[in-house]
Structure 1
């Protein structure tokens, strides 16, 4: 055993999307941080589709950016194609999505981590957590090196006892070609953490030169580019944007970005499976580890394999697929929607039954991967474990799927670990404040019996939680806790003030018998068409003004709903409350409450199996006060 001579404040285990955001956040908040990962060359590697955003996931990515995280900036600098999804629907479900250059994204974040003051990046596999008196104080690697710290954040992704399946072949690893993390599960079990097995999968990668794209439908990117970051001035190296030089008007690309280097956006392509695809799959289901019982882990319901699609939707003649580039310096094409774990020889047949892929060559086979995850109901809202002080978990180890869900948890774990060491209260985002709040509340309240994916339908206040207003919701907080730089806070504050100023003006200036705000409420009216509009108003400010006025009634109703439930959400359940002594609680409710230990009455009310009658009993018992053993 060798004790490393430098002691850290925080150690982050794992260099994926959760680990990167956790490490950057804690270091930026003044904590000496170690990012310990199995392979330094794969920091922020995009194991599956090199894409960021999409439905609801785009909301998470923009919230991470508004909070001072790195995902949005990395996406904008390395994106190959950008689109805003769902624009035919209301603004609450609009969602940005970007196809990224896989290697550029990875190395951009590696570069960012290596240059972050207060952050060390080291290669090594953590084998054991060092625990003393119920508090974590470091980790030990496979080389017997001990790194000591005051807090540890575990972000192991799919690597915790990772096992990959291609047909009946089993390969140990968290990603094809990379070793699994084999030691930490034992440490977590010793602490009393409940461990389950989950599963995810990825499709094959094809050689671009062997695909006949003339048989497919081109899917171009949007212009102007719907960038992710709110801090575009930093990307374009300007002090501020004016309506004349704003990217939304000029279509400029950030200097040094993939878009600039490539001279514009790359196309994606839409294609389809054929009846022949279904025939091949049905004839080989017995070779699928998913259907033969070899895979024990539970897979994501909302990201099914192509086998699942064919079996569960037998009447559907074809399945839509997307052929998406993985980078400007590679010919690899990602087949979105074609995840499978069938044998390699079957994959070749399947791929060549796809329209346009009749002669396609597979560069990397598809596979499924099983991995260990914990029961997230054993976490506090801060993402600290209930079984060990100063130990935090974030990412897929908590039962989620997706880069954005992982990064959001990593950011909050990094923030809260740093605040714990600074003697400050944790930052707990509420369900009406952020999709991040919805995500974490869902995990710690309902658990993750299957891989959790974010959807807009999970957010009951989604009109308030739009992707376009994440900065207005979260950037003030980010500045207060030390994550948002002063220059960006000044830009945010100026934007916020401009919005308020213009709203006041439109509500006070009249044209005839109506105000300009009343004119803007008309369905056919936009800010650009508005008489007496402010020509100097930046496009993003004008958009916020338009949304605020057009949806004023709906927004006010949701805000009133938030207020109605605010009493329950803010009412803390005192630590002295003993659910065992409360009479008439239903057995299921008592069991769930004892296990989850909700922090607020609002959280208790969301637990499956806890009824309104149970909540009433809890409120009565809280009112009676500590020391009450029998009802009066």
Structure 2
């Protein structure tokens, strides 16, 4: 069945696996995507949404590089929101509510229309490794498939165990069996493994809910989209989400089941996501809160299934049901399925290189939840990077690594490789020290040229990006060169509570005032005429506004990044003997030996390493 040797085999077809297969194939590699169920390619296992705070920036970055997640999200969106619009542009984060069934369908169709991708449905039960070099995979039927590189994106399936109250059973997702064999193979080779936990809320019948008792949450009046391409248009109509709250009564009913909760009776000992706790964890940790928000999210355009965001739980099903019926609007709720928790194997990511290739096995890559992350977006970005680097290795080209000042994807991977994680890792804007540079609006400027060089981003993408930023820069120059009189500006300045002008001044200076925003700028006749004459779209005008208002912050951050790049340029030899440097602290020496930092900059970011350790390292290396 498999006579040929594949360039890249991707194991698992979730968000990470799908992006990995698409990237490798689009870069010209003969790629095989192996999954236990071809009907669940790109499945949204948890909430039906893409993007959000920091995650939206990641989806934009995936799209800018030539990945598929942004396009799939746009084509299957039912609602769009730009979060944090009241804050600065570094915080703006796009998010879409998705049609779950259409999302998975669109992923499969896009992959089937990608040349170089083959598909096979079966469980991968082991790896073929010789002399610490990957040679292929073994399936549960005993079939051996040869490959030059392998990308593991197993999600929650490795020895997955599902918990509902005191009941537990093997599974990688509701209704799907767990995967066995891979963990055992890797541990025999010397890999360190661990266990993590995540959970999901009940799914309910929307026809049984009373929405009149909930607050409606509509999408944006002028919805945008993720992809920079015209593969889809912004939404013209949207579905609403809804908000309701738990109460003291709900909390009391939930507490009745605590003695049977796998979280509290010791059945679950692994660590769950800190920033997405279960409802029982919330009412236990935040006992002073008398209510918690619940977001009632439709699963698609035509289905009645509803996702109860904020009510993730592994309590007994009858406790879940009884408590949820006490929530306003849920008095007559009907369950589609109860919530559950799932434990699964992961491999601490300090065992990886920045390319996501393992240090122990040449040609073997890990991406997604196997690395200890949580979230579709985090998984998809790792899959993209692993697929890219697997293809580059096959083609004997230089590896592709994004730095912390180049992308949120770079921050994510550097955090994992350098610091590791003992709980499911989730991306936040606060994790990125250069977030003013890493905005969602300029992901194409930052990354599309790189995607084009890789052979992923099309020439059309590059032309569009260059046009947008050239036009935005011309508009900034227009603001620098064009004066505005007090008669023109003061009526607007007065309404915004900004000090009035007494003499004419350049538009650039007036528009850089913090009180003036895009809506104000486009009120002026000269600006209207310029936009109309040059046929500028809203995205280009917004880009010009950001450059005017935040130029000082952007320049300051760029200077800081450039200073730190000096340490990035100081390479540490691959087999460097840290034991020779006796003046290093014991902890620093042990961490350096375990993580094997590639540069002094990476060494400085390792948890437990002090500035004095870095100074000693620099002195020893002649700097």
Choose which of 326, 346, 351 in structure 2 pairs with 1:353. Answer: 326
Map 1:43-62 → 2, pairs under 5 A: 43-62=41-60
Shift of 1:191: 2.1
| 1:234 alignment partner in structure 2 | 231
Cα distance per residue 1:129-173 (max 9 Å; x no partner) = 101121101001001111111000000000011000000111111
Choose which of 205, 209, 228 in structure 1 pairs with 2:207. Answer: 209
Does 2:305 match 1:307?
Answer: no
Matched-pair contact (CA < 8 Å) for 2:51–2:94: yes
3-state secondary structure, aligned to 2:526: coil
Does 2:511 match 1:520?
Answer: yes
Shift of 1:493: 1.7
After superposition, the CA RMSD in angstroms is 1.3
Aligned-partner Cα distance in 1 for 2:56–2:13: 22
| 1:376 alignment partner in structure 2 | 349
| 1:167 alignment partner in structure 2 | 165
Shift of 1:369: 0.2
| 1:540 alignment partner in structure 2 | 539
Matched-pair contact (CA < 8 Å) for 2:78–2:97: yes
Does 2:344 match 1:406?
Answer: no
Aligned-partner Cα distance in 1 for 2:33–2:122: 10
Cα distance per residue 1:50-74 (max 9 Å; x no partner) = 1001111111111111111111111
Aligned-partner Cα distance in 2 for 1:7–1:115: 22
Cα distance per residue 1:25-66 (max 9 Å; x no partner) = 000000000000000000010000010011111111111111
Does 2:564 match 1:565?
Answer: yes
Aligned-partner Cα distance in 1 for 2:588–2:335: 52
Aligned-partner Cα distance in 1 for 2:569–2:509: 36
3-state secondary structure, aligned to 2:470: helix
Aligned-partner Cα distance in 1 for 2:426–2:179: 24
Matched-pair contact (CA < 8 Å) for 1:129–1:138: yes
Aligned-partner Cα distance in 1 for 2:77–2:189: 41
Shift of 1:524: 2.2
Cα distance per residue 1:400-420 (max 9 Å; x no partner) = 000000000000001111111
Aligned-partner Cα distance in 1 for 2:172–2:93: 30
Long gaps (5+) in structure 2: 486-503
Return 43-52 or 526-535, whichever deviates more.
526-535
3-state secondary structure, aligned to 1:623: coil
Does 2:198 match 1:200?
Answer: yes
Aligned-partner Cα distance in 2 for 1:97–1:123: 32
| 1:31 alignment partner in structure 2 | 29
Shift of 1:622: 1.6
Aligned-partner Cα distance in 2 for 1:302–1:577: 38
| TM-score, L = length of structure 2 | 0.94
Cα distance per residue 1:423-448 (max 9 Å; x no partner) = 11111111111100000000001111
Return 179-188 or 434-443, whichever deviates more.
179-188
Aligned-partner Cα distance in 2 for 1:329–1:45: 18
| 2:498 alignment partner in structure 1 | none
The alignment of Structure 1 onto Structure 2 pairs a total of residues equal to 597
Map 1:185-584 → 2, pairs under 5 A: 185-231=183-229, 233-236=230-233, 253=235, 264-511=237-484, 513-522=504-513, 523-526=515-518, 527-533=521-527, 534-535=530-531, 536-584=535-583
Aligned-partner Cα distance in 2 for 1:284–1:125: 36
Aligned-partner Cα distance in 2 for 1:599–1:17: 29
3-state secondary structure, aligned to 1:323: strand
Shift of 1:502: 2.1
Return 500-509 or 90-99, whichever deviates more.
500-509
Shift of 1:108: 0.2
Aligned-partner Cα distance in 2 for 1:610–1:530: 54
| TM-score, L = length of structure 1 | 0.93
Cα distance per residue 1:546-597 (max 9 Å; x no partner) = 0011011111111111122111122211224210111111111111000000
Shift of 1:525: 4.9
| 2:493 alignment partner in structure 1 | none
3-state secondary structure, aligned to 2:224: coil
Long gaps (5+) in structure 1: 237-246, 248-252, 254-258, 625-632
3-state secondary structure, aligned to 2:621: helix
| 2:12 alignment partner in structure 1 | 14
Shift of 1:88: 1.2
Map 1:84-99 → 2, pairs under 5 A: 84-99=82-97
Shift of 1:203: 0.1
Aligned-partner Cα distance in 1 for 2:517–2:413: 39
